[in-house]
Amino acid sequence: MMWVCPGVKLCWITDASARDDWLVTQRFLRWGILGVLYGVQYLLLGTIQAEIGAGG
């Protein structure tokens, strides 16, 4: 892994695999949060429908 550090003390990762890992991590976090929200929504809807089905 190579680091390019200008005088501003900001280090940019020039290694392609590390940069790809960072992009994948960001994408995973973004879609993971959406997936959790949708999963909770479907879980709640499924639970409500199951209770209605069992109660009715």
pLDDT of residue 14: 60
pLDDT value for 21: 77
Q: What is the pLDDT of residue 46?
A: 86
This prediction's pTM = 0.41
- Residue spans of the domains in the chain: they are 28-56
Higher pLDDT, 2 or 46: 46
Tens digit of each residue's pLDDT (9 = 90 or more) over 38-53:
889 888 888 888 888 8
7-39 pLDDT per residue, tens: 544 455 566 677 777 778 888 888 888 888 888
* Alpha carbon separation from 23 to 26, 33, 36, 41 (Å, rounded): 5, 15, 20, 27
